[in-house]
Structure 1
């Protein structure tokens, strides 16, 4: 039995449902054929129609606007991709083995809308260029290449995955949805401990695990390897400085290995991260607020509960955000702090050193620990709700502000957006000019509510005093019913699910005396975030990225 390598991909109005290596068209005057495309030259290549195989690169670029389905299988070392595409009949004069260029001319003759400055009719080096080889970039490049697009994955550093920037916490949702391999996992998390400024601690433990901690370097390299295996070209040590629109295509300019570099594509998927360069050169207005983070990966850490990360709140520990201790297994942990430079008077290093030396819990856990490596980065926790798609470019991941403002996490949402962006790229390259706007709508439908809710929660938290935080943590610690609600409904990926139940519990008469101030702040921002047209964080961010 052939091994299924990819689910059946169904683009608009598929003409047939495929099984094995055969297809039956359901459209009159439509042609359907089986063929095999193998990017790895070590594997066998077969095709029913060699002429069609030679024209596949061009055919794939129109797939999104023509009916198409495909199924990827592997049997005895042969990878088979079975296509069914509804296209006009080949002209009788068509050569039996058309060249790649000739195939494109035939397609332009069949579909005149691809001419006159359309991405299909203008020659370019790639169909799509993905900038940045983090999780969003790797997923976008792999998905685009699997859909038959000529794809480049560009990374400015000499090695993918370095330097690492985040704690690597990734929800189980991502492992299930994207079929991620288990070898990426360093640790599994099922609980959480929240320390108030006065030292009070509230502990919660779910019935099932919520997240894994992954090795970000290994994860990024695995995604890039998957993209390369599917046909993407990976370009390292390539720093891009600008992008420009030229005759219906987009050109990127920069340096590769110290020499001038330029390439053209129908579309750029920008996954540069929190400080993107290219979008501004194409007219994007990136209004966002960055928090600054620093963390140490440490060994010989004394851990009471290896599956329980600890969060330290308060203006002394981390103004505008929080500090953390994230167990990653085998007496190892990542200890870090993020601060909002608008609210913090000192750099992150000051707060991290103070945490390590002065916090009664952290200093005890790290009394024999030593630093293994240091990681630093920026996170766009508050971003405007402006469009993330514009002619010639889509934004994904941190570049698009796909980050939960309460926790700073965004890998899962970045993977979702990257896949949607690649699907939009296939449609756009095929001539569907509505694909970019559709991408913007689709990612907002999937997780836009979470970004709004967590942004409003962050604004409320930033206006709370240490006394407010002490009251909230003490109430959770003392109220078993409230803890049970958090443990039952809490989901670090979809945090808005807990917002209304938490407010309802907090409004009970027993808590009003101590939680009146925090509840009013939560109501002011949180309830408005529950509406689909909830207020934007745009009024609370600046036009310029923080230094």
Structure 2
């Protein structure tokens, strides 16, 4: 899946190909290298689309300079990236923007920067984009519209109807708002290749290890970045940190010479299996069952062909896998086959990672630096959705980068426009976090009482509906008001897609 239009070849021959600067492919230096590439493009999409997918079919044969694929797609669709000519350490690459990480936030940041005419390089420390998958793989129609996405069929696994919440006593309430379950690794590859088509360059297996300020006559001019990988060192006017929960730039940059830009945030463990033959009616099921997920939740996210992600998020990280296994054993998921997800060739079928839960970092910008997605602490507090926030924060970062470079002002004051943008757009994290904390202070029985006060369908409550919920709580368990029940209930409202919940 590659954006429509030319991939960047200026000529295709039986010998070594010649590439334009728009391509992420760099010609191999060896004269013995050969490559044969066959391109087949899908019909062009509207220029209004944010992403324009295209398929590229390629077969390769190399000798001294082997081609390296950045994404292995189904049906032998390869997108290729070659080794570049080795360079001396002093021969630094100069770019306008260096994007650290090729997840959804990094890929979109690179895409938006490239579209604004900025020379952009994405570095990714893995050998393949999109793996391992760390999340439940959902995105709402609200997010698709907000980001002007036109998803290609290849990245979509299943159309879904909304969210259903199951409380400790089995009470079910649903929030109908449509969306998609994605094949997330293909989604991220698609965005990254869209960025490549727009002129960005991509380097895999490149890990950032240090950043040094570049100054001229006392004025900040950019960052000299070094690390593991043949494209280093890199000089960048602006760095966009999309490195996920590791938030590498926050560690490397020490404004006062000793303390990092941001303290390490609190995280929870997320783990899931892909199960087969899972019954579903097209809703995403979220179980608030503290017995298995302490201060967290469990989920069933349906996919195509009867597959589903079944997993949990919990603060009890050492017990995460055991708790998930117990949940499956105790429920209707018992006996269903666990299988390796399509992107995983071998190993344990369990997969996941860590999720930031402390909220946005205190500093999401600095001289020539912006943090996006998980690297900025952007997740929806209750159900930890992060893709919508990552993709949108990348848009704001690219807008700020273009403005700063056009004005030759890379200062923290100029970068602060980014922070103002996301603060004006994203929901009030502190308020939602207070509600989440209030929810997890309730006993199982109190949570279930609260659930009985909600209507069966929570998508159209309105002011009168919320007032009715309050009256029901007052009638059935007035003591819950002393436990901040209103904040807990509001947290559910802020989990909706229009508040960047998913």
Q: What TM-score, normalized to structure 2? A: 0.71
Residue 529 (structure 1) shift = 13
How far did residue 400 of structure 1 move? 0.6
CA distance in 1, matches of 2:384, 2:276: 24
Preserved contact between residue 280 and residue 302 of structure 2 (Cα < 8 Å): no
2:112 and 2:162 map into 1 onto residues whose CA distance is 33
The CA distance in 2 between the partners of 1:509 and 1:204, in whole Å, is: 18
1:1-40 alignment, distance < 5 Å: 40=8
Map of 1:7-406 to 2, 5 A cutoff? 40-42=8-10, 125-176=94-145, 177-183=147-153, 184-198=155-169, 200-204=170-174, 206=176, 209-247=177-215, 248-256=221-229, 261-283=232-254, 284-301=261-278, 303-305=279-281, 307-341=282-316, 346-358=318-330, 360-363=331-334, 367-372=335-340, 373-384=349-360, 386-406=362-382
How far apart in 2 are the matches of 1:185 and 1:509? 40
Instruction: Please give the alpha-carbon distance, in whole angstroms, between the structure 1 residues aligned to 2:152 and 2:422.
Output: 26
Q: Cα distance 1:216–1:530, how it changes in 2: closer, same or farther (>3 A)?
A: closer
Counterpart of 1:436?
Answer: 415
The offset of 1:298, in angstroms, is 1.6
1:226 is paired with a residue of what secondary structure? Answer: helix
Asked whether the 8 Å contact 2:360–2:376 carries over to 1, the reply is no
Give yes or no for the alignment of 1:422 onto 2:419.
no
Deviation at 1:40, TM superposition (A): 2.7
1:456 partnered with 2:434: yes
CA distance in 1, matches of 2:206, 2:199: 19
Gaps spanning 5+ residues in structure 1: where?
Answer: 7-37, 44-53, 55-75, 81-122, 477-481, 490-497, 532-547
Corresponding residue number in structure 1 for 2:480 = 517
- Does structure 2 retain, via aligned residues, the 8 Å contact 1:296–1:374? yes
Distance in 1 of aligned mates of 2:108 and 2:172: 37
Query: What does 1:536-547 align with in structure 2 at a 5 Å threshold?
Result: none
CA distance in 1, matches of 2:295, 2:94: 45
Deviations 1:389-435 (A, max 9, x none): 11021000001111101011011111111011011111112224443
Query: 1 or 2, which has the higher helix percentage?
Result: 1
> Structure 2: how far apart are the matches of 1:377 and 1:42?
41
In 1: Cα distance, 2:391 partner to 2:132 partner = 20
| Aligned mates of 1:521, 1:374 — CA distance in 2 | 36
Report the equivalent of 2:471: 508
Matched, 1:475 2:453: yes
Counterparts of 1:466 and 1:350, CA distance in 2: 21
The 8 Å contact of residues 222 and 238 in structure 2, kept in 1 or not, is answered as yes
Give the CA deviation at 1:174: 2.4
Give me the whole-angstrom Cα distance separating, in 2, the residues matched to 1:385 and 1:518: 31
Shift of 1:524: 5.6
1:446 aligns with 2:422: no
1:504, distance to aligned residue in structure 2 (A):
2.9
Aligned to 1:118: none
Residue 445 of structure 1: CA displacement? 0.9
- Cα distance in 1 for residues equivalent to 2:466 and 2:175: 20
Give the distance between the partners of 1:308 and 1:528, measured in 2 at CA.
20
Q: Distance in 2 between matches of 1:323 and 1:508?
A: 29
Q: Does the 8 Å CA contact 1:165/1:376 hold for their aligned counterparts?
A: yes
Distance 1:505 1:382 in 2: 32
Say if 1:453 and 1:389 are closer, same or farther in 2 by CA, change over 3 A. Answer: same
1:505/1:243 Cα in 2 relative to 1: closer, same or farther (>3 Å)? Answer: farther
Q: Is the 8 A contact 1:241 1:278 kept in 2?
A: no
- What TM-score, normalized to structure 1? 0.66
Cα deviation 1:14-48 (Å, max 9, x = unaligned): xxxxxxxxxxxxxxxxxxxxxxxx983449xxxxx
Distance change (3 Å), C-alpha of 1:374 and 1:159? same
1:164 Cα offset (Å): 0.9
CA distance in 2, matches of 1:165, 1:213: 14
Q: Residue 296 and residue 264 in structure 1: after superposition, are their counterparts in 2 closer, same or farther (change >3 A)?
A: same
Shift of 1:326: 0.8
* Structure 1 residues 304 and 143: CA distance shift in structure 2, 3 A: closer
Change (3 A) 1:189 1:518: farther
Distance 2:179 2:492 in 1: 25
How far the C-alpha of 1:517 sits from its partner, in A, is 1.7
Encode CA deviations 1:464-485: one digit per residue, 9 max, x unaligned.
2212212123333xxxxx234x
Query: Is 1:453–1:529's contact at 8 Å kept on the other side of the alignment?
Result: no
Change beyond 3 A, Cα 1:293–1:205: closer
